[in-house]
Chain A
């Protein structure tokens, strides 16, 4: 009988390696399904291709860092990063865009900083921002959902999708289309009402709303499973709702409604899957509230007055910068202390 001598606690919650990551991946699947439903196979091909590349890059770097391969690949963090980036990319983006993005996300933004848990910025958003700035044409060429096509059969099939992504086929011009956010941003001098009156797209927002709803469902699932707390997504959505409501209320002809902002673009994906990345977000509950709210406001500001129609990536990266500072100033009041401490206290 050999007794083992281990420090307490001796009991652990039944959980496996990569549990959190797997939950998040699972919760993102409805969104992926909705994306595929409305836009065709492109998103799924992107996700599979990106995941494969991510595992490959991760494996190479782990080998170079002389770390146990299976142990680190088993945390599912690379696949989650690939999934989030692929969901954010246009469905029929060329393969090399994805490849560059995954390389930047996995190798540069994550592993060069020391791997999972050490990266100060959200790897997927670093890659997205880099791609958007470097390849604006490819990154803004969105396809149209089948609901807005003249004939639903124009949507590329599986084989065609693969051919388009890997450069064997051109995406038919009939299928390309600007996103609702882009359309609204470049409406020019006309009022919102006029835009709504003349644009077929603005009256067919159902695909984007459907996708947002799917992401919302996944997010609620994660909240129920206590993978993260409600603070960041709720604060972000609430702040976006309030600020867009304020501007919409003061000038409805020039500003879109809160519902438009909440259900188009990457708002829901950002709120429930990107901003909640614990590694790069604020950690205290109060810090998370500030983090989320600031994110919502930043997204709205950039959407309306910035150069890009959507702003999740830039807003998230900006808030990643602020997160450590927030952590120092939003510490909870410890039991037995009169008040919380702010900043770095020198004793």
Chain B
């Protein structure tokens, strides 16, 4: 007998195993539908091999492993695949998973299969593959694919194979029954496993509450060639935990965060061993298992040989469930099992027990009281943690402290919750903390990955920029070289080439030529603009700058060339003096444009759009253009009028001209008034008046020009004036108007000065001019009056 060590803590809950041991092992009749989840093991879910409508035979593979850690799935009976879709699976969260649904045909037709006569003749890999093809995964706990565990890489030297027949959870008797009924099969499986991993020791751990099973296994082991030792351990929960069993049987602890194989130990469940034997020696894949159906809500509790995928409701009905009193449905044991919320959930490879409990059996948990740190949890913790401290940390979300107190070594056995006198659901707190910590770690990993990715991208972009700069430099150098060569050539030989941007100089109409040159320049400008836009876009996108930059510089060069050509052409062929009408149109167009732009600017300013600056600049430009156009027009008009006067020397034409000038002057005045009004309005509104004031000054200048022109025209015709006689009335009103204007302007100036507006200066100038004008008008009036009086006197003299 080998020595037994012990592990810290543990509890002795009521066993409740007797109920399900009253009846012999039974086989359940075929259900109407089998639901086979694709994930019944740890690792990746299997990939379906069948399609809806396929007929399958018993034992036919219907799903294959996805990757190394995964498992095959076989049809538990012959029938038709009716669906492959999501339905509830056995999981603590009550989630759904992809399942293959199989409708049995009732014939139980096996696929052709045969066992291996002598597994020792098989190659190790081949033997492991046989187990893998049988879809075997751990049937005691988590469901780790057995072939992976039994076909370890060469760096794992296994010295101890431990077979777990402890079954420490209350209520469950599936392994107990299996060990009693199929001890030979278990021993056969152990022989196969031992052949694969070549351990020096084979130990079977059984709790002392299963003497019959221990006897059966001891008998069977005696017949084996191997030295298999059955070790009876004292009944204590959780002796069946992998780590606890290892400690019990070997005295060694699995280091935190490692697996038993790292210390040369492999643990397998007895059911798994039986399944291995069935797969290798009989060629039958894992399609059924023994499941304990127990609980007070069942009339006939017992152990059943169940096809995988059988809905639990079918088993409950078979055992005579009392639906009135069924309160909680637990898959697994009462300590670590999880409650199911749907009785249609199927039995899977790891389902060792289903407890149909009444409310009296597993009552509602009483409300949790305060933790008094009694330390009972610590006394029973098999991982030697400080559960009460972990509870405080989990409750206070101090996860770093929980980690420092080895929260991750908690096996969630539930012993602490079981003994807690304050009924605190401790395990739930630990699960919560673990979940939060895992999520945090996941987030951290993600953030780290994102950072690395970002840095790599930055480095790549930087490198690309450098590469491009180097390329551009090389290209510029090459271009410079080429130019130098060309210059050498042109200086050496006769000029053969011309500037490509310059269109061929036609000797025909110079005006048409200028026009075409203009068009060419405009086209070049448009192209430049486009190129600039593309460059800006590229800069925003951050790619392929070099090409765009060269394109822009090319376009700029072209525009300059075109502009130059145009200028020289214009200089050579000065445009003929435009006609008065043309000039008028040009001036009007310029004004319209100016107005429009002003409007747009006002709009932009009101909206505080960024384009305001641009608009302002263009406004200045347009104003200048409009002024030039106006000036040109005025000049033309002046010269035209002078021409008319001088050329025709017809006095009868003069009054017409003077009339026109008068109208112009009055129009100018009206405009001035309007502007004045607008300025007043703007000042009253308190808005920016500088623009308007400037405009006003401009207009007053215009009005002045018009007035001057008028005055000049009048002065030009002194004869006619003398003949007609100076219009005293008109002069009087003019003087009055001038005075009024002076007054008004003075007012506006005073206003502007008090407000400190920049328009004050221009107003001041305008005022000075107006004053001068007013004085002139006064003088004129005085002179006219004097003349009149003399002429009157003369008249009277002649009359008298």
Interface residues of A (CB under 8 A from B): 1, 3-13, 15, 17, 19-20, 71, 75, 77, 115-118, 226-229, 278-279, 281, 283-285, 327, 331-338, 341, 344-347
Residues of chain B within 8 A (CB-CB) of A115 are 370
Q: A117-B371, A336-B254 are in contact. Are A5 and B384 (CB under 8 A)?
A: no
Q: Interface on chain B toward A: helix, strand, loop, or mixed SS?
A: loop
Given known contacts A332-B386, A334-B256, A336-B254, A278 and B366 CB-to-CB distance under 8 angstroms? no
Contacts of A7 in B (CB 8 A): 92, 338-339, 425, 427-428, 431
Given contacts A229-B375, A283-B386, contact A11 B14 (CB under 8 A): yes
Complex Cα distance, B421 from A20, in Å, reads 7
Chain A residues whose CB sits within 8 angstroms of the CB of B332 once the complex forms: 8
Which residue on B lies nearest to A341, using beta carbons?
A: B404
B421: chain A residues at CB < 8 Å are 15, 19-20
- Which residue from chain A places its CB closest to the CB of B93 in the assembled complex? A5
B141 within 8 A of A: no
Say yes or no: A12-B365 contact (C-beta < 8 A), given A336-B254, A347-B404.
yes
Contact with A335, one of B247, B337, B362, B428 (Cβ below 8 angstroms)? B247
Quick check: B373 and A3 within 8 Å, CB to CB? no
B binding-site residues for A, Cβ under 8 Å: 7-8, 11, 13-14, 92, 94, 170, 243, 247, 253-258, 323-324, 326-330, 332, 334-343, 355, 357, 362, 364-367, 369-376, 378-379, 382-386, 388-389, 400-401, 403-406, 409, 412, 414, 417-419, 421-423, 425, 427-428, 431
List of B residues within 8 angstroms of A3 by Cβ: 326-329, 339-343
Bound-state Cα–Cα, A77 to B372, Å: 10
Q: Which residues of B contact A9 (CB under 8 A)?
A: 334-336, 414, 417-418, 427
Contact B243 A335 (CB under 8 A): yes
Shortest CB–CB separation between residue B12 and chain A, in angstroms? 10
Q: Which of A15, A17, A334 contacts B406 (CB 8 A)?
A: A334
A-B pairs with beta carbons under 8 A, tally: 169
Q: B256 contacts A336, CB within 8 Å?
A: yes
The interface residues of chain B lying within 8 Å CB-to-CB of A4 are 327-328, 339, 364
- Per the bound structure, the CA–CA distance linking A117 and B343 in Å amounts to 41
CB distance from B437 to the nearest CB of A (A): 11
Chain A residues positioned under 8 Å from B255 (CB to CB): 336-338
Provide a sorted-by-A list of 6 A–B residue pairs whose CB atoms are within 8 angstroms.
A4-B364, A7-B339, A7-B425, A226-B379, A283-B389, A335-B409
Min Cβ gap A210→B in Å is 30
Report B-chain residues with C-beta under 8 Å of the C-beta of A71: 367, 369
Query: Which of A9, A71, A344 has the most CB atoms of chain B within a 10 A radius of its CB?
Result: A9
Residues A13 and B418 in contact in the complex (CB < 8 Å), given A5-B339, A228-B375, A347-B403: yes
CB neighbours (8 Å) of B362 from chain A are: 6, 10-11
CB proximity of B434 to chain A, nearest CB, Å: 13
CA distance A283 to B404 in the complex (A): 17
Cα distance, A332 to B390, chains bound together (Å) = 13
Within the complex, the shortest CB–CB distance from A273 to chain B, in Å, comes to 14
Contact of A283 among B324, B334, B375 (CB under 8 A): B375
Q: Which residues of A contact B385 (CB under 8 A)?
A: 332, 334
Please provide the 4 A-B residue pairs with the shortest distance between their CB atoms, ordered closest to farther: A9-B414, A117-B370, A336-B256, A11-B334
Q: Is the CB of A11 within 8 A of B418?
A: yes
* Assembly CA distance A17 to B420 (angstroms): 10
Cα A226 to Cα B375 with chains together (Å): 11
The answer on a CB contact under 8 Å between A335 and B372 is no
Given contacts A337-B406, A347-B403, contact A12 B417 (CB under 8 A): yes
Q: Are B328 and A13 in contact, CB atoms less than 8 angstroms apart?
A: no
**What's the least CB distance linking B247 to chain A, in Å?**
7
Which of A278, A335, A337 lies in contact with B375, CB distance below 8 A? A278
A332-B384, A335-B409, A337-B256 in contact; A10/B339 too (CB < 8 A)?
yes
Interchain CB contact under 8 A, B328 and A6 = yes
A344-B404 in contact (CB<8A): yes
Chain A residues, CB < 8 A from B403? 347
Given A7-B338, A11-B362, A341-B406, 9 other A-B residues pairs in contact with their CB atoms under 8 A: A3-B327, A7-B427, A8-B338, A20-B421, A71-B367, A116-B369, A284-B386, A331-B386, A347-B400
Q: How far is the CA of A3 from the CA of B342 in the complex (A)?
A: 8
> Chain A contacts of B334 at CB under 8 A?
8-11
A284: chain B residues at CB < 8 Å are: 378, 386
Residue of A nearest to B413 (CB): A9
Q: From residue A117, how far is it (CB to closest CB) to chain B in Å?
A: 4
Most buried by B among A13, A71, A77, A332: A13
A13 close to B419 (CB less than 8 A): yes
Give B412's nearest chain A residue, CB to CB. A8
If A336-B255, A347-B403 touch, whether A279 touches B372 (CB-CB below 8 Å) is: yes
B256 touches A279 (CB 8 A): no
What residue in chain B is nearest A15 (Cβ atoms)?
B421
Q: Which residue of A lies closest to B362 (CB)?
A: A10
Q: In the complex, which residues of chain A have a beta carbon less than 8 angstroms from the beta carbon of B247?
A: 335
Min CB–CB distance A112 → chain B (angstroms): 15
Complex CA gap A5/B409 in Å reads 26
Does A333 contact B384, Cβ atoms closer than 8 Å?
Answer: yes
Assess the B374–A10 pair: CB atoms within 8 A.
no
Considering the complex, give the chain B residue whose CB is closest to the CB of A77.
B372
Q: Is the CB of A20 within 8 A of B374?
A: yes
**A10-B357, A13-B419 in contact; A334/B374 too (CB < 8 A)?**
no
A residues near B326, Cβ cutoff 8 Å = 1, 3
